[in-house]
Amino acid sequence: MIKDIFERIKETPGPLGQYQGIGDGYFMFPRLVGEIGPEMEFNGKPVLNWSLNNYLGLANHPEVRKADAEAAAKFGLGAPMGARMMSGNTDYHIKFENDFSEFVGKKAGLCLNFGYQGMISIIDVLTSRKDVIVYDSESHACILDGMRLSLAKRFAFQHNNMESLEKQLNHACKLADEQGGGVLVITEGVFGMAGDLGHLADIVELKKKYPFRILIDDAHGFGTMGAHGRGTAEHYGVIDEIDVIFDAFAKSMASIGGVVSSEPEIIDHLKCNMRSQIYAKSLPLPLVIGNQKRLDLIKAHPEYREHLWEVVNALQGGLKAEGFNIGVTESPVTPVFFEGGINEGTNVVVDLRENYGIFCSIVTYPVIPKGQLMLRIIPTASHTLDHVKRTIEVFKDVKKKLDAGFYEGAIQDMNVFKRAQIKR
């Protein structure tokens, strides 16, 4: 029997959609108001915001705002018209992608319109039905979706487990040999949820035993990791051994887009075969010119990254000193783990936002195990040490209340949440 698509959608809203009735506008799709930065407004109240991917504080940098505005005034948002292959190529695009790839240590690069879409397309173009992909089991959704689009077979290895990787490489190489294909290992530079690093040096070492290429998604690593902010490959000293690096702009650049960097022949192949770029309008010039300014500032001002790490070290060191569990993070991404279920998590968020003026993201099952809560903090160069001190004091208070069972009980109606004034 044929069933109406809309009826099926209404009956099965999905893992997140099921919470839309009580979470829309508060937990899902919240609206932060004001200039992008640590101090904004939520639900009519000022909040200290720890939920912005603006690592180096460039979103409101005066030179960035000036470059964005002048480029928009000169070119508008329409230029250039058409896809780059047809009529949307410019000297600005070429200079920017060449400058970017040179900075991250590669000979060629290609500017892409979006980070998520970019990674999906890269995987699709690099692999064929004869190839085999081996990937970290905790890879970002863009990697998983890219593999779904690819015709290549795939094997997952346990997160950052080199013994598991080698086992899967052994299977993958045998299969690739039978099929007449190759092997591509995919991982992340910085894992954006837990903040730990992909073990790039250990993966590179396995190249001595197995024939494969490496692709990394370094969205959270670019600008934050390495002596010059070139990313996680620089941090490990293995830039030359990483075959393809993809860096998205939504984190340290506080912008839109990304660049894939590799050797010239590979970039040329991507240019001519990446359907998401061939059939999509070129990245508008205000974004390209604005991204060039951001890149120039990252190269010229290492103090932005240095201050970011001052904030990171103060925050993570202070939390650990107070006995908080921040997991295995090695990057600015700062998870704080508590015991509790989704009800406690919901009530914690309301208390933080309504009564303490702290805005950060919360993560619960199924992303993390049942019985745990994770508050995810993203430090930036715009935060101060006073912001850090205030947040640690608030978390100490919240932990006491969690331990005392203060947040237990049923999730309330969202109208109650919006009026909530939970007494401390």
What is the model's pLDDT at position 143?
94
Say if residue 288 is in the same domain as residue 325: no
Say if residue 144 is in the same domain as residue 251: yes
Say if residue 295 is in the same domain as residue 307: no
Say if residue 326 is in the same domain as residue 399: yes
Structure tokens at 31: 């609206």
Place of tokens 């250990």: 202
Residue 57 lies in a domain: no
Domain end (from 251, 266, 300): 300
Residue 4 lies in a domain: no
Q: What's the CA gap between 75 and 89, in Å, rounded?
A: 14
| Of 287, 296, 300, 289, nearest in space to 250 by CA | 287
Say if residue 90 is in the same domain as residue 164: yes
Q: Are 285 and 75 in contact (CB under 8 A)?
A: yes
Say if residue 98 is in the same domain as residue 215: yes
Domain end (from 300, 321, 349): 300
pLDDT at residue 407 above 60?
yes
Say if residue 150 is in the same domain as residue 271: yes
Q: Are 285 and 92 in contact (CB under 8 A)?
A: yes
Task: Answer left, alpha or beta for residue 254, where phi above 0 means left and psi between -120 and 50 means alpha.
Answer: left
Say if residue 366 is in the same domain as residue 218: no
Lowest mean pLDDT among 70-84, 194-208, 355-369: 355-369
Residue 321 lies in a domain: yes
Could you tell me the pTM of the whole model?
A: 0.91
What is the model's pLDDT at position 245?
98
Say if residue 180 is in the same domain as residue 243: yes
Specify the CATH number for the domain of residue 75: 3.40.640.10
The pLDDT of 110-119, averaged and rounded, is 92
| Of 207, 211, 146, 124, nearest in space to 172 by CA | 211
Residues in Cβ contact with 1 at an 8 Å cutoff, skipping those fewer than 6 apart:
none
Per-residue pLDDT reduced to its tens digit, 44-86: 999 999 999 999 999 999 999 999 999 999 999 999 999 999 9
Residue 7 lies in a domain: no
pLDDT > 90 in the chain, percent: 78
Domain that holds residue 194: 62-300
Residue 262 lies in a domain: yes
Instruction: State the average pLDDT for the chain.
Output: 92
Q: List the strands of the sheet with 39-42, edge to edge.
A: 32-33, 39-42, 45-49, 358-359
Domain count, the chain: 2
Say if residue 104 is in the same domain as residue 155: yes
Which alpha helices (DSSP H) does 200-341 contain, by range? 200-205, 232-236, 264-273, 275-278, 285-300, 302-321
Query: Helix axis angle, 62-75 relative to 285-300, nearest 10°?
Result: 160
Residue 54 lies in a domain: no
Residue 109 lies in a domain: yes
Domain end (from 282, 300, 318): 300
Specify the CATH number for the domain of residue 374: 3.90.1150.10
Say if residue 264 is in the same domain as residue 149: yes
pLDDT band at 340 (very low <50, low <70, confident <90, very high): confident
Which alpha helices (DSSP H) does 104-251 contain, by range? 115-126, 141-149, 162-179, 200-205, 232-236
Say if residue 43 is in the same domain as residue 166: no
